[in-house]
Every structure is written in C-alpha cells, then in structure tokens.
C-alpha cells in the first residue's frame, strides 16, 4: 500500500492509503445526498453537508478506534504493531508476528467487534439524550447513524470467515480444540471465501433489483473478502515455512557497492550497464550510506550526470531501507514491501553485510523446497 502518515496514537503510526479517498468521497456523497435527507427530510442542504462531513469523519474515527483496540490488545500480549492504515475497504493493523497461541488470537480478534459495539452504544446514548434534550437533528441524526453503522460493522466483522475478526475467533477456537494451526487456518479461510461469494451474490441481486451503486459496492467488498481470505492463507503458509529464518539466511552477502563520490555517469557505465542490477548499495570503507538506483539517476537532468555525485542522488539509509541480520524474514519482507525500490540492505550497526530483494526470498524458498524434496525422497 502506498500512502502517507497522518500522525501516531499510543506510538502506533496512523497512515492513509490513497485508495481511502475514493471511499471517503463515496460515503460523504451517500450521507449528504441520500441517507440524511431521507431519514430527516426538511432540512437545509447546508445542514446535510455538515451532517455528512461529521458522519463521515466520525465513521472513520470509529474504524480507527476498532483497529486501535486490536492493536492495543496485541501489544499487551507482546505482539508489536507498527502501523494502522485506512484504505478503501476499511482499516488494517500491521504486525509482523504470527499469534503465538489461540488464546492471544482470540483476545486480539475479539477486541475489534467489542469496541465497535461499545462505540455503537455510546452514539446510541448520545442520540437518545439528544432527543430527550430536544437537540437539533444535525446532532441526533449523525449520532443515530453512527450507532447503526458501528453495530453493522461489529456484526459484519463477526462472520466466521478468515481474515475477518469472526474468522480469527473461529480459527482460534478450532486451533484450541485441534492444536493444529494450519488446519484451523484452512477451515477459517474457506469460511472467508464462502462469505465473499455470499456478498457478491447479494450484490448482484441488489443490482438487478435497482440498487445499482449499493450492489456494485457489495460485489466489490465480496470480491475483496474472497481475495483477502486466499492471500491471508498463502501468507500463513509462507510464514510457517519461514519460521525461525533470519534476514542473514536469505540475503545476498557482500554485494557489489558504489562509492559515494562517484558521478552518476560512472554509476551508469560501470554498474548499471556493466552489471546485472538497477540498484547498488552505496558504501565507503565498509560503512553503508544508502542505495543508488537507476530511477534516482533518471530524476536528475541528463546534463548533470557527469558532475553530480551518487551521494547527492542516493536514497539514504536513514529512510528505513535497512534491516538487522538477526531480524526475522517476516520483518524483512514487511520492509521490502514498503521499500520504494523493492530492495533493503542488511546492516549491523552501519556495516553493510548484504542486500535482500524479492528474488532473494523466492530463491531461498525454492532452495528450501528442494531441501525438503531431497530429505523426504
């Protein structure tokens, strides 16, 4: 996901993916033009816009609180959470560790829907008190919408399909009963796929009965849930096979480097054109300084390639493109996904030990497969 940081809460980075703007506009539009005018007719159009804005922002704040609840319980169980990202289909909290026990997973998964129910109850109270105090419809209308949407969110998330919260609860129960996490994940994943198809069918039925936009949206969500179920399962399998593997095990050691003082022209000639890669670590006397890539050369006007140095144009290591040799491969892969060039450096202190690309991880997995084949054959 590509997006930007909006701040941090309890030390957890909050990010917004660019796809989020689509859903923001869609919800704002639906609330302002449809939901609030239908539920509370007779108000000025400016009132609906204010209600729509407040409703949309508070809806996303509720989503964030739901993800924060997961994250805080995870952290209390010793599982670090790096960031929460809001994107087109909701929120997602990033952790690198797989849950160690079914008990942990159960608690972490339950925290989300519980927080949504709590938020729903709070807004319901506001709506109820607002009505009793004869507050304007802008207040009570928004509050009762948020009570409803958070309740729906909790119920939706409780469906026993992985990777929804309900699917995680279900997986934790099967895992607890059978002691077999892979089997539990497989069963819960099938639940997720079934749920995805159900939503898609529901979406098509909606489309044909005249609710075009709502129907298309349901089909999209169903498709996403099905995809997410499959990819979460693949990720689980991958993580299982990478358990205990460290960054140093998969890296390409002692990579060819370029010195910081070299010109961009020389980098192109001696490294990109004469070598096999588009990017090379920048180092001086064994100290890692950054990563130089073809794209960074392209960003500089051609006339300056002969005079500008690699040091000026490189991606510095301070931009989070390094990983320690003893870091888990799961950690390394997370960094790899976030790296702007699809490569990260393995450093100890500031000493350069190696480089990791997706290809290195794939090669390691392939070697592992062969190793198992040979030892079982």
Measured from the CB atom, the residue of 158 and 218 that comes closer to Zn ion is 158
Three-class secondary structure of residue 128 per DSSP: helix
Which residues, other chains included, contact 10 with Cβ-Cβ below 8 Å and sequence gap of 6+? 68, 71, 72
CA angle 107, 74, 229 (to 5 degrees): 75
Q: How far is the CB of 113 from Zn ion (least distance, A)?
A: 7
Q: How far is the CB of 20 from Zn ion (least distance, A)?
A: 17
Report the alpha-carbon distance of residue 30 to residue 264 in Å, rounded: 52
- Strand bridging mode 287-293 / 279-284: antiparallel
Binding positions for Zn ion, rule: CB under 5 A: 112, 165
Q: State the Rg of the chain over Cα.
A: 25
Measured from the CB atom, the residue of 73 and 353 that comes closer to Zn ion is 73
Q: How far is the CB of 8 from Zn ion (least distance, A)?
A: 20
Measured from the CB atom, the residue of 32 and 115 that comes closer to Zn ion is 115
Measured from the CB atom, the residue of 66 and 193 that comes closer to Zn ion is 66
For Zn ion, which residue has the nearest CB? 112
338 is catalytic: no
Work out whether the CA dihedral 73, 74, 76, 82 comes out positive or negative. Answer: negative
Report the alpha-carbon distance of residue 358 to residue 338 in Å, rounded: 12
Number of residues in the chain: 377
Q: How far is the CB of 227 from Zn ion (least distance, A)?
A: 17
Three-class secondary structure of residue 83 per DSSP: strand
Q: How far is the CB of 109 from Zn ion (least distance, A)?
A: 7
Measured from the CB atom, the residue of 227 and 370 that comes closer to Zn ion is 227
Choose the catalytic residue: 67, 243, 312, 338.
67
Nearest one of 320, 319, 317, 299 to 308, comparing CA atoms: 299
Measured from the CB atom, the residue of 116 and 140 that comes closer to Zn ion is 116
Q: How far is the CB of 217 from Zn ion (least distance, A)?
A: 19
- For 213-228, b/e burial (b = at least 16 CB within 10 A) is ebbebbbebbebbbeb
C-alpha atoms less than 13 angstroms from C-alpha of 370 in its C-beta half-sphere: 6
Work out whether the CA dihedral 207, 227, 30, 3 comes out positive or negative. Answer: negative
Active site residues: 67
């Amino acid at each position: 996901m590509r997006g930007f940081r909006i701040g941090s809460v309890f030390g957890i980075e909050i990010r917004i993916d660019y796809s989020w703007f689509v859903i923001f506009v869609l919800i704002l539009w639906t609330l302002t033009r449809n939901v609030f005018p239908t539920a509370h007719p007779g108000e000025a159009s400016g009132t609906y816009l204010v209600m729509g804005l407040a409703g949309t922002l508070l809806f996303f704040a509720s989503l964030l609180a739901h993800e924060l609840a997961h994250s805080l319980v995870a952290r209390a169980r010793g599982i670090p959470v790096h960031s929460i990202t809001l994107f087109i289909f909701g929120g997602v909290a990033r952790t690198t560790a797989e849950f160690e026990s079914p008990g942990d997973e159960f608690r972490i998964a339950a925290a989300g829907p519980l927080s949504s129910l709590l938020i729903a109850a709070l807004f319901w109270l506001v709506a109820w008190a607002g009505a009793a105090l004869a507050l304007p419809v802008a207040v009570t209308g928004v509050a009762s919408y948020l009570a409803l949407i958070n309740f729906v969110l909790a119920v939706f998330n409780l469906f026993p399909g992985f990777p929804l919260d309900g699917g995680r609860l279900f997986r934790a129960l099967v895992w607890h009963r059978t002691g077999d996490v892979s089997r539990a994940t497989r069963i819960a994943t099938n639940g997720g796929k079934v749920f995805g198809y159900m939503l898609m069918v529901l979406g098509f039925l909606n489309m044909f009965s005249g609710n075009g936009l709502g129907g298309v949206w349901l089909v999209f969500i169903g498709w996403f849930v099905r995809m997410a179920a499959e990819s979460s399962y693949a990720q689980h399998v991958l993580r299982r096979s990478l358990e205990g593997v460290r960054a140093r095990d998969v890296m390409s050691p002692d990579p060819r480097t370029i010195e910081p003082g070299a010109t961009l022209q020389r980098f192109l000639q001696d490294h990109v054109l004469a070598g096999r890669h588009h990017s090379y670590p920048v180092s001086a006397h064994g100290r890692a300084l950054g990563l130089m890539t073809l794209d960074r050369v392209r960003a500089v006007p051609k006339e300056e390639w002969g005079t500008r140095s690699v040091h000026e144009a490189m991606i510095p290591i301070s931009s989070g493109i390094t990983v320690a040799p003893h870091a888990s491969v799961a950690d390394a892969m997370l960094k790899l996904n976030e790296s702007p060039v699809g490569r990260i450096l393995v450093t100890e202190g500031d000493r350069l030990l190696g480089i990791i690309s997706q290809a290195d991880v794939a090669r390691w997995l392939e070697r592992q497969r062969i190793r198992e084949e040979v030892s079982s054959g």
